[in-house]
Structure 1
Amino acid sequence: MGQTASQPESGKTLRVIGAGLSRTGTTSFGAACSYLLDGPCYHGGTQILNSPESHIKRWVEIFRHTPVKSQDDLEALHWGIKEMLDGYVACTDLPSNAFVAELIEMYPDAKVICTVRDPEKWWNSLAPIVEKGNLTVLTWIFAPLPTLRWFRTFHDALDQGRVGELYFRPGEPQRPTRAMWGRHIEHLKKVVPKEKLFFYDVRDGWEPLCAILGVPVPKDVPFPKLNDAAVMEGFMQKSARRGILAWAGILLSIAGVGYTVARYAKVV
């Protein structure tokens, strides 16, 4: 998250569907899959926030076809997902982890690997963002920045679409909660054939992941250890500073124009 976006490669097809929730080592997992499978990995946060604005807008369009209410929705959903993920050997994190049912149908030879950690530690990592984050303030700060000015729209499309469909319940807060963990695992067991579903903790390193993929364990190559939370926090802080500076420039420009107009009016 927050690094350079990967580029799809012709001839590559999806071999790993990363089904883990955010804050479960998805960045490390994606880097490991990319190394083992010799191809690019689509890590949702990295791709969306480091790509041209058209990229996040396309995902918003895709999510607006969920919940699926018609054949047209279903066809648009499949076409959109394929458009975004073709050319990658693996995908992980949002938005792809919300489309596991569709992905396993579209890529039947792929393996579904859900990265896991202690559920309480997972929620303790996510809760401050969910409960204290102020999307309204961020929306205003990010408004001058390409791509990031779509962050709130993207977030709303998730909650009103597939994410809300899978994890929110009537009468409960319409946002991620601790219950999301169990509901996610239950959903995966429901939509993925048992022989294709694997659970993996990145703290266990190369061996179990290589066993799942049926590839040799790398020799003298350290397992990638990338801190999802720290990278995300650093990216958002840097982006917030960019937004504030952009607003300062806008306000100074407005003030400059106003001053010029006032002087001209006084002279006239």
Structure 2
Amino acid sequence: MGASSSIPTDPNQRVQVIAAGYGRTGTVSTALALERLLKGPVLHGGSQLLVRDDKYCKLWLDAYKAKDAGDKKKTLKLVKEATAGFVATADVPPVDFIPELMELYPEAKVVLVRRDPEKWWKSVVALTSKATPWWLDVAMAPIPGWRYIPAFMRRFSKSFLGLAGVSDDKASPAELIERGGPFLLVAHNRRVRSVVPKRQLLEMELREGWKPLCQFLGVRVPKDPFPRANDAKAVDEHAARIFTRVLQVWVGIFSTTAVVVYTGWWLWRNKQQSLIRAWKSLKTMDVRKAFGNVWKSIRLIDLRKSFGRVWNFFKPANIKKSLGAVPKAVWPESKKPVVEHSTGYSSIWLE
């Protein structure tokens, strides 16, 4: 981990070089050198996992699952998708798929960087202890892409132990430190030699610089010095950025939660106070007396008498009597037609 991540822009580019050295063998320097020589994006696995989205990270985890399940066709498909557009690969996860990469890119050249196994193991232990605290799963959970880092650390541990013939689906970084050792690098290098044809394999040490690498790739030696990335320093810088980002995310989560909780408590408290006030108001009222007064008011109205009058009006005899008081037409000879109302009131002439 630690290289600046390259993002592919042309999906038609194919992998030309596979840097097969395991993590902590100078993979950052190797990736930078290949990017300089091949003039294209290099897939440095550790760096890609820190900057890519959930979809890309899950793509590699699915490739691991397919390989564990023995589904070669699916494994090749996923690895091809994950490496599309890159001109070279380095670091994990790619180094765990060297046989698949050789099948997908049969003309690719392979560079195996050697390192003293004892120094290598001390570096691995230091990185693993620093990068896998007990709270990592919880801390990374809300962060896209990074939420898969704990799963990758467990998967890398399983791959490491697999080099020693140890098969454990629940392998953890802690178990790797306990059961691993310098022999793991020896086993990895041996496996690379067994799957890569000699004519396509270069073994070198970083202190040799540009010359062996450029001769192997058939390119000119750059005037620039060979990249000397400090992996340990790069990891520390990445760790600092990760910690800062995680802290920002969780501060935001806790702040939002605090606001929501306080708002809910405030609303609940005010609702409770409103209910208490309403109850006290009801207690101060003589409800029975109030409803009794309403009933008395209703009783003051003689409903039967009022409805009786209405009923009497609508009796057939009374209706006939009422209809008898209709206007009578009178036609005086010297006047226009008028209507005389004989309803018991004074006669009204309408002209």
**TM-score w.r.t. length of structure 1:** 0.89
Determine the structure 1 residue equivalent to 2:58.
Answer: 57
User: Measured at CA, do residues 57 and 155 of structure 1 come closer, stay the same or move farther in structure 2, by a change above 3 Å?
Assistant: same
What's the secondary structure of 1:88's corresponding residue?
Answer: coil
| Contact in 2 for aligned 1:2/1:49 (Cα 8 Å) | no
How large is the Cα RMSD of the aligned pairs? 2.2
**Is 2:176 the partner of 1:175?**
yes
Please report how far the alpha carbon of residue 10 of structure 1 lies from its aligned counterpart in structure 2 after TM superposition: 4.3
| Contact in 2 for aligned 1:3/1:50 (Cα 8 Å) | no
**Is 2:259 the partner of 1:256?**
yes
User: Measured at CA, do residues 232 and 168 of structure 1 come closer, stay the same or move farther in structure 2, by a change above 3 Å?
Assistant: farther
Determine the structure 2 residue equivalent to 1:245.
Answer: 248
User: Measured at CA, do residues 8 and 28 of structure 1 come closer, stay the same or move farther in structure 2, by a change above 3 Å?
Assistant: farther
- Aligned length in residues: 263
User: Measured at CA, do residues 212 and 77 of structure 1 come closer, stay the same or move farther in structure 2, by a change above 3 Å?
Assistant: same
Deviates more, 1:223-232 or 1:50-59: 223-232
Unaligned runs of at least 5 residues, structure 2: 272-351
**Is 2:220 the partner of 1:216?**
yes
What's the secondary structure of 2:66's corresponding residue?
Answer: coil
User: Measured at CA, do residues 238 and 168 of structure 1 come closer, stay the same or move farther in structure 2, by a change above 3 Å?
Assistant: farther
User: Measured at CA, do residues 245 and 86 of structure 1 come closer, stay the same or move farther in structure 2, by a change above 3 Å?
Assistant: closer
Matching residue within 228, 235, 245 for 1:232: 235
Determine the structure 1 residue equivalent to 2:137.
Answer: 139
User: Measured at CA, do residues 170 and 63 of structure 1 come closer, stay the same or move farther in structure 2, by a change above 3 Å?
Assistant: closer
Separation (CA, whole Å) in 1 of partners of 2:99 and 2:5: 28
**Is 2:23 the partner of 1:25?**
no
Deviation string 1:70-110 (CA, Å, 9 cap, x unpaired) is xxx10001111111112221111001111111111221111
Determine the structure 2 residue equivalent to 1:92.
Answer: 90
| Contact in 1 for aligned 2:99/2:195 (Cα 8 Å) | yes
Separation (CA, whole Å) in 2 of partners of 1:42 and 1:9: 13
Please report how far the alpha carbon of residue 125 of structure 1 lies from its aligned counterpart in structure 2 after TM superposition: 1.1
Please report how far the alpha carbon of residue 201 of structure 1 lies from its aligned counterpart in structure 2 after TM superposition: 1.5
Determine the structure 2 residue equivalent to 1:151.
Answer: 149
Deviation string 1:159-194 (CA, Å, 9 cap, x unpaired) is 45x555334526998526222111101111211122
Determine the structure 2 residue equivalent to 1:267.
Answer: 270
User: Measured at CA, do residues 9 and 164 of structure 1 come closer, stay the same or move farther in structure 2, by a change above 3 Å?
Assistant: farther
User: Measured at CA, do residues 25 and 210 of structure 1 come closer, stay the same or move farther in structure 2, by a change above 3 Å?
Assistant: same
Separation (CA, whole Å) in 1 of partners of 2:38 and 2:127: 33
Determine the structure 2 residue equivalent to 1:165.
Answer: 162
Separation (CA, whole Å) in 1 of partners of 2:121 and 2:156: 19
Percent identity between matched residues is 32
Please report how far the alpha carbon of residue 12 of structure 1 lies from its aligned counterpart in structure 2 after TM superposition: 2.2
| Contact in 2 for aligned 1:2/1:232 (Cα 8 Å) | no
| Contact in 1 for aligned 2:6/2:42 (Cα 8 Å) | no
| Contact in 1 for aligned 2:42/2:88 (Cα 8 Å) | yes
| Contact in 1 for aligned 2:3/2:44 (Cα 8 Å) | no
The structure with the largest alpha-carbon Rg is: 2
Determine the structure 1 residue equivalent to 2:197.
Answer: 193
* Paired AA for residue 166 in structure 1: L
Please report how far the alpha carbon of residue 252 of structure 1 lies from its aligned counterpart in structure 2 after TM superposition: 2.0
Determine the structure 1 residue equivalent to 2:331.
Answer: none
Please report how far the alpha carbon of residue 64 of structure 1 lies from its aligned counterpart in structure 2 after TM superposition: 0.6
